[in-house]
Structure 1
Amino acid sequence: MKKVVQFESKVEFVATVNEKKDCLMAQDKTQDQPECLWFNIDVLKGHGIEAGDTVRVTVEKIEPEK
């Protein structure tokens, strides 16, 4: 796997998507600054994450098997 990006950020908001999942979001007003990254990702309920918690976001590219 090739790591594309990894960063830490505070969760700004946790929204209910449905009975099985929530959406974790950090979309502050600094999106015009290239060094600031934000996220919006669905996770299964039971995660225990609340607004204000710090999380680490990692994106890795999975290379296809040959």
Structure 2
Amino acid sequence: MPKSSFEASVEFVADINNAKDCLMSQDPTQDDPGALWFNIDLPKGHGFVAGDRVRVTVEKI
């Protein structure tokens, strides 16, 4: 199944509510068609902090 994967650093972790946080990485070169970034909500207790390197993989199921 088609999938895409890339690695990036967590830029910051935002407190959304008492149940979830938002991990963000926004590349400052948004005009670069090769720049990839993410913004994803996760349940509290994930353990990620700003500066952590992560791999984001998206696949069709």
* 1:39-58 mapped onto 2 (5 Å cutoff): 39-58=38-57
Gaps of 5+ in 1: none
What is the root-mean-square deviation in Å for CA atoms of aligned residues?
Answer: 0.9
Task: Give deviations 1:4-61, integer Å, cap 9, x for gaps.
Answer: 2100000001000100100000012112111110000000111110000000000001
The 5 Å alignment of 1:1-40 reads 2-40=1-39
In the alignment, is the contact (CA less than 8 A) between 1:3 and 1:58 conserved in 2? no
- Matched letter for residue 32 of structure 1: D
Give the structure-1-normalised TM-score. 0.86
Partner of 1:32: helix, strand, or coil? coil
> Aligned residue for 1:60?
59
TM-score w.r.t. the length of structure 2 is 0.92
Q: Which amino acid aligns with 2:22?
A: C
SS of the residue aligned with 1:59? strand
2:33 is paired with a residue of what secondary structure? coil
Quote the sequence identity (%): 66
Structure 2's unaligned 5+ residue stretches are none
Q: How many residues are treated as equivalent by the alignment?
A: 61
